[in-house]
Structures are given as C-alpha cells and as structure tokens.
Amino acid sequence: MTDPLDALRAEVEPVRPDAAFAERLRERLRRAVLSGAPSTMDSTGTERTMAETVTQQTVEEPEDLAWGPTLQPHIHVADARRALDWYVDVLGAKRRGEAYVMPDGSIGHAELRFGDAVLMLAEGTYPGIPVAPPTGELHSTSLNLQVSDVDATIERAESAGATIERRPDDQPYGRVATIVDPFGHRWMFNQPRGAAPRARHGEVAFTTIFVPDDEAAKAFYGAVLGWDFASGSAERGWVLTGKEDSFGMSGGAERPEVQLCYRVNDMAAAVERVRANGGQVGEIESKPYGQLVECSDDQGTRFQLYQPPAS
C-alpha cells in the first residue's frame, strides 16, 4: 500500500530572504568566524555543544561593528600586538572588535578603524597565502590617511620609531608627509585644506534637525542615541560630535523638520533649475565654507543647496 503522506515530499527550493536580514546575519557570521577561537579536539560534537556555542556567540553586538567600507586594505606585520598598539597610539586608530587569536598564539586577524575606514591586519605568513610582512626598500602600496594635524602626527610617529621619508609640506591638495612605520609599511598623511566636502554633486552634504527647543532636543537625542553636540557657527546651531562636517541641529525653528543640504557643482545653474521646475529659492549666502541657499521644492519640502569654495 502506498502511503498518501509520501505526496508531501518537498525538495529544497531556494528562497531569497529579506536583504536586511541577510546582511545582519552575514555580519554576525563574520564576527563569529573572526572572533571565536577554534575549539580544541572534540569529536563528540553533538547538538548540545552546537546549541551552547550559538548562545555564547549571539551575545550583545559591539556598537562599532557596523559593516565596513567597500574597500578595506589588509596588511601583514611581523608583530601584530605591537603594531596594533602603535597604530592606536600614534595614528589614533580604534580597535574594531576582538582580535582573532590562532592556536599558536599569533594574531590571525584584527581590525582597526580610522575614521570611516577599516584596516585589516594579520601576523606573519600562512602556508599557501602569498602575502608577507614588508621587508625591502621598495613598497607596492602606500596607506594614504587623512589627519587633522599632519605636523603633530609626524612628531608622534618620529618619537615612536617611524622613519620619516618626507616632512610636512604644503601642496595644492593639502599638507602632506610620508613615513615608513616600524613594521615596514609606508603611510602618506594628508591634512586637507580648508573645507573639503566628501559629498559629490547631488549628494547630501549636511543634515540639519530643526527644532523649536534645541536644549530639549540635545537632551532627547543624547538619551536616545547617545549623541553629543558641540556649538556650531550659527546662533543656537549645534554640530554632532564626530560628524561635525555633516550633521547638525538648529534651535528656534517655527516647526520641527529635518532638512537635507545637497552639494552642487554650479550654484547659479542649480538655483536656476530650482526656479525653472517650480521650486522656491532664497538668498544665496556666502559663508567661510562656501555658498549656501535655502530652497523648497514644488511641493513645499524645504532643502538647501551648497557649493564649496573653488580650490
């Protein structure tokens, strides 16, 4: 007799899950792979052990472990612990997650955060992976790092054992210097000149929260998101600490709203296009950091346009 329930047989049909879920899980998985040391010999690996391991690995996520930028250099050094300390002390890097320690005690993988960039680092060499710490005089890469004070960085680097290849000097694009660090890696430091917005034409250069009561808003976002504001250039204007060049708050507004400020390449032409398409344009203001104008679109949404000074 055939079993009617045999009709239930279901082959595995792939289903693409929610993209946000897929990314979150990728990040959890990545951290589990990078942070957990391999377990010791245990051939009796049963469900119980697996379930326990899962519990241990799903503990609270460190806040600085957002998915990294698109390109992340990965370097090899002979002494990873010393190198990590050096990059933190001298270059102001922040440790990103736990270092992954190999069974022999060496560091198989560690990550550092420099601003919005991530540097990956491994110690020594691995069989079958043709990468090694630098040895010779010729380099194939230079790590180009933006710093806020290139002279101070060079001073710290020199006293911490770096070889100074080129002392700070002014170039059209900023004040630059070059070193080889004690681990053989070459760095170029660049202190950008004046206002150097990251946003390109059409991208959001600055976000401003407009509120009637700025003190209340500082307290609210401080409590909710841990934000800390420093006073900005305008009266009752504030900038978010750590995002001074891109995020601010303004008090005394008639109605609460969030306004986006878009970078444009040609202010006169952009303003013309706003008008031609039914938008409203205010007065173009000249600021130390460039030209700014308040606009609204043809439905009344308010926004700003910004053009940095010509360099």
User: Which residues bind to another protein, rule: CB under 8 A?
Assistant: 1-10, 12-18, 21-22, 25-26, 28-30, 32-33, 36, 38-39, 41-43, 45, 47, 49-51, 53-54, 57-58, 100, 102-104, 106, 108, 124, 126-129
Least distance CB 185 / another protein (angstroms):
21
CB of 113 to another protein, least distance (A): 20
Asked if 189 and 177 count as a contact pair (C-beta separation under 8 A), the reply is yes
* Residue 106 CB, nearest approach to another protein (Å): 6
- Identity of the residue, 104 or 169, whose beta carbon is nearer to another protein in the bound complex: 104
For residues 11 and 254, which CB has a smaller minimum distance to another protein in the complex?
11
In whole angstroms, the minimum distance from the beta carbon of 255 to another protein comes to: 38
Residue-wise burial string across 192-205, b where 16 or more C-beta atoms lie within 10 A, e elsewhere = beeeebebeeeeeb
* Separation CA 69–CA 117 (nearest Å): 6
| C-beta of 43 vs 140, nearer to another protein | 43
Smallest separation (angstroms) from another protein to the CB of 86: 22
Determine the Cα–Cα distance for residues 251 and 239; give it in Å rounded to an integer.
12
- The alpha-carbon radius of gyration of the chain (Å, integer) is 26
> Which CB sits closer to another protein, 80 or 90?
80
- Determine whether 183 is exposed, middle or buried from the number of CB atoms within 10 Å of its CB (0-12, 13-18, 19+): buried
Residue 14 or 136 with smaller CB distance to another protein: 14
Pick between residue 111 and residue 214 the one whose CB is nearest to another protein: 111
Give the nearest distance from C-beta 95 to another protein in angstroms: 20
One-character DSSP codes across 12-63: ----PPPHHHHHHHHHHHHHHHHHSPPPPS-TT--HHHHHHHHHHHTSPPPT
Least distance CB 80 / another protein (angstroms): 12
